[in-house]
Structure 1
């Protein structure tokens, strides 16, 4: 992505050029205008049929969405903003994101991307300002969560971000762990939690003399990896938290012998732990302690994490089997997509001898958890889980957008510098704005290329 200074200096002239009626629009101009239009649309608002992608200056009227159902009536205090979004201090900050409609738009297609990564300053402001109010956002989810849930509509809403304190419920529904019928939900969760406890008793709470050598080795590897997981978040350094992770991971590995435990799966437990723990604890995640929970609630927490991890990995099993062929296949797709979108950076990486497996393998293995600040992970995972079975293929577009954030920078680096840069990407100061830009571009490119495979094959 070009620097902010570049964007600011060019924003006025580039915007005037695009809006001047007597000038013919270039493909790049049409692409950027479409991208800005998608960002400017109300997040989560479903518009049937084709969507007219045009800039909108007037905010949509949310006066009809002032009432809330008592079921989710809570003040939006700091305690309600969700454990992984504390730094934003408000639900509204978490509510910035691209609109994902129920049908694909007819998009202007372009092979060129010379100006894809620049976003004028006034466009950034309009993308922030043209959002639904918090009450309207909550109202949409409240309406959908009352009674029997229609998963397709819930996915459309969740793709653009979930109100933080609703995430535990929404994530369980999106993953198919909790049933859509609210009358059955409590009974199903109780049964699954008891099933998890039985598995722990059968596979984990046994002496090493009853384990095979392979199982002992696997348990020791998990015990080594848990303290290394998300080291910059103090919550995960608690011994009790690491013990819960160990039980979850080992039980999962024993019950999935085709893959067993693979390093990286430990990272995938962490978003579930934080989100589901927010049902029991308030305040900052840095001040949480599992010792504040009863053993029964800890078992509930572990069971929910276990089953949701299972549901997530069921859709990408070949990512973690021998030689991880699923990840290798997606890395190849990523390389080809980047070549089609940004040929100069693709050619430069190839000339320098940099293989995509050298950096992108970890992205697919850990789903970017090690690449972006942890307080943004829950927002990213809203989109992941909303994609459902289509997630593996959509990851290719998210990671292409993530990589090309630094297109200009990468073209100036030689091999060793690129390797170091891609292993330590400068995302520590990222906010929701940068993440939403990544998701916006991913959605645009998916709409352009996924339904037209010949674009990638030619």
Structure 2
């Protein structure tokens, strides 16, 4: 059999990576953050915000956690979206200027915006928040429609919360009041209790009827407890998500609301562990928007964008569809085919020689959209590329996963089952810009 020659551009030392961590865990552990986001520009003005009001001053912006730049050195302070104080590069200035210019147009050119986001967005105040909302279809390209769309969607989310998150006791009292029993309640010696004659079977806490609001409430208890546990475990190293501050607790509460509303509206899937990790980047970006109005409505905005993003992956969370053409195993098979097409020697060594089944590592890569393989702030740049794909995030996701394997091919070829599993379950620190470049180059070869 004639082996396909590896492209010369992949043999460059620029793709080399440092040794993997010495520790190893077979579980789905979070990869420790070791790199952070790129420096961001300060002097170029950001495109007009989502409303007509001027942006708030710096002392009213949402607090953001401390960060480290990509080389791992600690920094503090700064005036950028994520708190950096390192000066921007000329490339950062150029990219920010292009994105800001596009966002300032009356009608956004989505093709151009996707092209700009493909190699990741600049880390400038408010840019990523606005662009993600556009890429996910939450905002229309016509700027004149933004205000109306936002008002409608935010009102709709409030309705969902009022309908789905209200406790049964509150619902019961509302029903009683709506039937004109207010005067009776006020004259009763025990105003906090309903008379037995006023309680129907559906209102009784011990009712097992399908129409019982209490029965539904108790059935949701397990889901609520699971969401609560997972949200509290979300990025414990980042103060935005974890800690005893009122800000962190408020963010946790918002994430729990979003996940519970989603679970109640999607009874076929409900909540699956890991959805909190998918929500985290979206909510973080929206909540850190320097525009006060946008930040205050981050929960509603994040809900709809989370739903839209998950719509392309929802079948991966349905166990009954695992073996179908839309299930997670089908996606893993597609990744295996991509690797074989681009580097058959690597594919053969992994799957035939060392018996490294792609499901051992790719299941987490795909279902959690690479949020656990890189630092949280590097994953934001990867998501820029995922969301920019007009064919949907899955195509870009599989391409990036394939690029991840290709970039460490030398170590994989030289490794056995144990060393390769360590490497792929603890993927080494990587230059994200280079990773996206390789993924785009591999994909462009597919289109030739």
TM over 0.5: same fold?
A: yes
1:160 aligns with 2:157: no
* 1:147 equivalent in structure 2: 106
Q: Of 410, 417, 420, which residue of structure 2 is paired with 1:418?
A: 420
Q: Give 1:55-74 correspondences, 5 Å limit.
A: 71=48
**Residue 222 of structure 1: aligned partner:** 227
1:80-159 to structure 2, matched below 5 A, reads 80-83=79-82, 86=83, 89-92=86-89, 132=91, 134=93, 136-145=94-103, 146-159=105-118
The alignment status of 1:272 with 2:316, answered yes or no, reads: no
Which residue is 1:242 aligned to? 252
| Pick aligned residue for 2:149 from 188, 210, 217 | 188
1: distance between equivalents of 2:331 and 2:88?
34
Per-residue CA distance 1:176-198 (angstroms, 9 max, x = gap): 10121111101211111111111
Cα 1:366/1:68, change in 2 over 3 Å: closer
Give the Cα separation in 2 of the matches to 1:366 and 1:311. 15
Closer, same or farther: CA 69–168 of 1 in aligned 2, 3 Å: closer
Match of 1:203 among 164, 175, 182: 164
- Cα distance in 2, alignment partners of residues 346 and 167 from structure 1: 36
Question: Which digits, 9 at most, give the CA deviation of each residue in 1:2-53, with x for residues without a partner?
Answer: xxxxxxxxxxxxxxxxxxxxxxxx97566559999xxxxxxxxxxxxxxxxx
Of stretches 342-351 and 27-36 in structure 1, the one that deviates more from structure 2 is: 27-36
CA RMSD in angstroms comes to 3.4
Match of 1:171 among 117, 132, 146: 132
Matched-pair contact (CA < 8 Å) for 1:226–1:242: yes
Match of 1:367 among 366, 369, 379: 369
1:256 aligns with 266
The offset of 1:329, in angstroms, is: 1.2
Gaps of 5+ in 1: 1-25, 37-65, 93-130, 282-292, 453-458
State whether residues 230 and 370 of structure 1, in contact with CA within 8 Å, keep that contact through their aligned partners in structure 2: no
1:228 to partner: Cα distance: 1.7
Partner of 2:18 in structure 1?
Answer: none
Tell me what 2:206 maps to.
none
Task: Tell me what 1:376 maps to.
Answer: 378
Equivalent residue runs for 1:44-59 within 5 Å:
none
Structure 1 partner of 2:299: 302
The separation in 2 between residues aligned to 1:352 and 1:32, in whole angstroms, is 22
**Distance 1:421-1:214 versus aligned 2 partners, 3 A rule:** farther
Question: Retained in 2: the 8 A contact 1:259–1:320?
Answer: yes
Give per-residue Cα distances to partners, 1:394-451, cap 9 Å, x unaligned: 2111001112322222233332333233222233xx5xxx1111111111111112x3
**Hey, what's the Cα distance between the residues in 1 that align with 2:10 and 2:404?**
17
Deviation at 1:347, TM superposition (A): 2.2
8 Å contact from structure 1 (residues 196, 303) kept in 2? yes
In structure 2, relative to structure 1, the CA distance for the partners of 1:69 and 1:341 (3 Å cut) is closer
> Is the deviation greater in 365-374 or in 241-250?
241-250
Q: Deviations over 1:273-295 (max 9, x none)?
A: 221122248xxxxxxxxxxx9xx
- Paired residues of 2:121 and 2:384 also in contact (CA < 8 A): yes
- Partner Cα distance (2:88, 2:227) in 1: 35
Q: Secondary structure at the match of 2:319?
A: coil
Change (3 A) 1:178 1:34: farther
Length-normalised TM-score, structure 2: 0.67
Paired residues, number: 338
TM-score (ref. length: structure 1):
0.66
